C-alpha cells in the first residue's frame, strides 16, 4: 500500500514538499487521541526492548537520525512509529533559511537521497520552545514509551569559523536544558567550511565550550552519567588516520560518544545515470550507497575506542539484517532516515522487531 501511495502521490511531488506533507499528516494524526493511539498500536507494535545507553533508558536501539525533525516540532508523533530516540536538528544558534530550492532529491534507482539543505531551521531559541512543548506531550505517555530526545547542533552559516566556538556555545545554552544528549555536528557538507572544524585543533575548543556551557545551564541532567552526554558526528569521507585522530581526541576530551556517519560527498557510491546527475549537483548523499563506508568507519572507530565511548551507527541501514550487522560491529544504537522515505512508516517497527527477535534467538540457541 505504501509503495503504491509513494509512486502515485509522492514521486511526482517535489521531495521537500512531500517530506513536509507526510510529516504534517503524522503530527495531525498524533494530535487526535484515538488516531494517535491507533498509529502507535499499528506501527510500534512490540517495539519496546529497553536498553541503557549513555546513562539513559532507551525504549529500544533504533532511532531517527537528525535532519527529519529540524525544529523539534514532532518528537512525540515520530515516536509513534516505534523509534526509541529522536535526534532533532541540526539546529543553529540563529535562524537561517538554508540553501536555495530545490535542495532535496530522490535517487530512486540507488535508493538514496541527495540533499543540500544547509541547516535550514528556526534557530535555537524557537527550537527550545518547540522541544519544551514536545517534552510536555511526551510526559503524558507511559514511561516505557517515552523516547529519548537528542539535540544536534551546528554552526550558523553567516558566522565565521573563528567565531564557531561562541556560536556552538550559544546553541548549547538554549538547548542543553531540554536535551537528553547533545551532538556536535561538524560533518555536514552543506555549510561552507564546516567540515574543516573536524580537525583536532578546531574541534577541541568547540568540545570544551559545549561541555562547560552545558554544565553551567543544566543542574540536574537526565543521564545517570551526571552530565548531559555529548557526542560528535563525523563524516564518512575522512581518511582513516583522521578518524583515528578524532577518536583519540574524543577520549582525551571526555566526549561520551561518536556518531558514524554523516552524508558523503563521494559520487562513486552511486551507479547509473544518477551518478552523472549527482556529479553536477552540490550536496551530500545518504541511503543505501553509504552502507559500506559507514560500516567501515564504525569498525574503525570501535577498534580504536573499545568500550570507552558510546558509538551510534547511521548510514545505509535498510533492514533488520543491516541493523544486526551494526550492533555486531559494536554499535550501541542505530539510526535510520533515508530508507524510511522509500519503505514507509512501518519500516522502523520492522527493523526493531527483526533486530530484537534475532538477538533473542541467538541467546536461546546459546550463540554469542
pLDDT tens for each residue of the chain, 368 residues long: 666 665 666 666 788 888 888 899 899 999 998 898 898 888 888 889 999 999 999 999 999 999 999 999 999 999 999 999 999 989 999 999 999 999 999 999 999 999 999 899 999 999 999 999 999 999 999 999 999 999 999 999 888 888 889 999 999 999 999 999 999 988 666 566 555 666 767 788 899 999 999 999 999 999 999 999 999 998 898 889 888 988 998 998 889 999 999 899 999 999 999 999 999 999 999 999 999 999 999 999 999 999 999 999 999 999 999 999 999 999 999 999 999 888 888 999 999 999 887 554 444 444 44
| Structural domain for 346, as ranges | 2-364
- Residue that the C-alpha cell 544528549 belongs to: 181
Q: Identify the bridge partners of residue 149 per DSSP, sorted by sequence position.
A: 86
What is d(CA 273, CA 13) in angstroms, rounded to the nearest whole number? 20
Residues 6 or more apart from 228 whose CB is under 8 A from it? 176, 179, 180, 181, 182, 214, 215, 218, 221, 222
User: Nearest Cα to 51, choosing from 88, 18, 84, 87?
Assistant: 84
The number of angstroms, rounded, from the C-alpha of 217 to the middle of its chain's C-alpha atoms is 24
pLDDT at 271: 93
For residue 356 the three cell numbers come to 530484537
* Residue 338 among the catalytic residues: no
Cα 279–chain centre separation: 25
Is the CB of residue 57 less than 8 Å from the CB of residue 50? yes
**CB neighbours (10 Å) of residue 160?**
10
Measured between alpha carbons, how far is 152 from 161 in angstroms, rounded to an integer?
A: 18
Specify the pLDDT at position 281.
92
Which three-class secondary structure state does DSSP give residue 151? Answer: strand
Q: How would DSSP label each residue in 297-362?
A: HHHHHHHHHTTSSEEEEES---SHHHHHHHHHTT-SEEEE-HHHHHH-TTHHHHHHHHHHHHHHHH
Contact 21, 113 (CB under 8 A): no
Cα-based angle 38, 5, 22 (whole degrees, multiple of 5): 60
Show Cβ contacts of residue 183 under 8 Å, excluding neighbours closer than 6 positions: 66, 87, 89, 150, 151, 152, 153, 230, 231, 232, 233, 259
Grid cell 494524526 in the structure block, residue: 29
Q: Domain count for the chain, please give it.
A: 1
Over residues 122-173, the pLDDT tens digits come to: 999 999 999 999 999 999 999 999 999 999 999 998 888 888 899 999 999 9
Helix, strand, or coil (residue 106):
strand
Residues 6+ apart with CB under 8 A from 259: 183, 231, 232, 233, 234, 311, 312, 313, 314, 335
CA R_g for the chain = 19
What does residue 75 show for φ and ψ, rounded to 5 degrees? -60, -50
Q: What is the pLDDT of residue 153?
A: 96
- Residue 328, all three cell numbers: 555486531
Give pLDDT, residue 359: 55
114 neighbors 107 (Cβ within 8 angstroms): yes
End-to-end CA distance of the chain: 38
Q: What are the phi and psi torsion angles at 114 (to 5°)? A: -120, 125
Instruction: Name the active-site residue from 79, 171, 188, 223.
Output: 188
> Which grid coordinates belong to 247?
577518536
CA distance 26 to 5: 15
Look up the CATH number of the domain holding residue 20.
3.20.20.70
Amino acid at each position: 500500500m505504501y509503495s503504491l501511495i509513494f509512486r502515485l502521490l509522492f514521486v511526482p511531488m517535489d521531495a521537500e514538499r512531500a517530506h513536509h506533507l507526510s510529516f504534517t499528516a503524522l503530527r495531525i494524526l498524533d494530535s487526535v487521541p484515538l488516531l494517535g493511539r491507533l498509529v502507535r498500536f499499528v506501527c510500534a507494535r512490540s517495539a519496546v526492548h529497553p536498553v541503557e545507553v549513555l546513562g539513559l533508558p532507551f525504549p529500544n536501539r533504533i532511532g531517527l537520525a537528525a535532519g527529519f525533525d529540524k525544529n523539534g516540532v514532532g518528537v512525540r508523533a515520530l515516536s509513534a512509529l516505534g523509534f526509541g530516540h529522536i535526534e532533532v536538528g541540526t539546529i543553529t544558534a540563529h535562524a537561517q533559511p538554508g540553501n536555495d530550492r530545490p535542495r532535496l532529491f530522490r535517487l530512486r534507482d540507488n535508493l538514496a537521497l541527495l540533499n543540500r539543505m544547509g541547516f535550514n531551521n528556526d534557530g535555537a531559541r524557537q527550537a527550545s520552545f518547540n522541544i519544551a512543548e514536545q517534552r510536555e506531550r511526551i510526559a503524558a505517555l507511559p514511561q516505557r514509551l517515552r523516547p529519548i530526545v537528542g539535540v544536534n547542533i551546528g554552526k550558523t552559516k553567516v558566522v565565521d569559523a573563528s567565531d564557531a566556538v561562541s556560536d556552538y556555545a550559544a546553541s548549547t545554552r538554549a538547548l542543553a536544558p531540554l536535551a537528553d544528549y547533545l551532538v556536535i555536528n561538524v560533518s555536514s557538507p552543506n555549510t561552507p567550511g564546516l567540515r574543516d572544524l573536524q580537525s583536532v585543533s578546531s574541534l577541541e575548543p568547540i568540545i570544551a565550550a559545549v561541555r562547560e556551557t552545558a554544565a553551567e545551564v543544566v543542574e540536574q541532567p537526565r543521564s545517570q552519567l551526571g552530565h548531559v552526554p555529548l557526542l560528535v558526528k563525523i563524516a564518512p569521507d575522512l581518511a582513516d588516520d583522521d578518524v583515528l585522530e578524532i577518536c583519540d581526541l574524543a577520549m582525551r576530551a571526555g566526549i561520551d560518544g561518536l556518531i558514524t556517519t554523516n552524508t558523503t560527498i563521494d559520487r562513486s557510491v552511486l551507479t547509473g545515470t544518477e551518478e552523472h546527475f549527482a556529479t553536477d549537483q552540490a550536496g551530500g548523499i545518504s541511503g543505501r550507497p553509504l552502507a559500506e563506508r559507514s560500516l567501515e568507519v564504525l569498525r574503525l572507530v570501535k577498534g580504536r575506542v573499545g568500550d570507552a565511548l558510546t558509538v551510534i551507527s547511521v548510514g545505509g541501514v535498510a533492514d533488520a539484517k543491516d541493523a544486526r550487522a551494526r550492533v555486531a560491529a559494536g554499535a550501541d544504537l542505530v539510526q535510520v532516515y533515508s530508507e524510511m522515505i522509500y519503505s514507509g512508516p512501518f519500516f522502523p517497527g520492522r527493523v526493531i522487531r527483526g533486530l530484537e527477535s534475532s538477538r533473542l534467538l541467538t541467546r536461546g540457541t546459546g550463540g554469542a
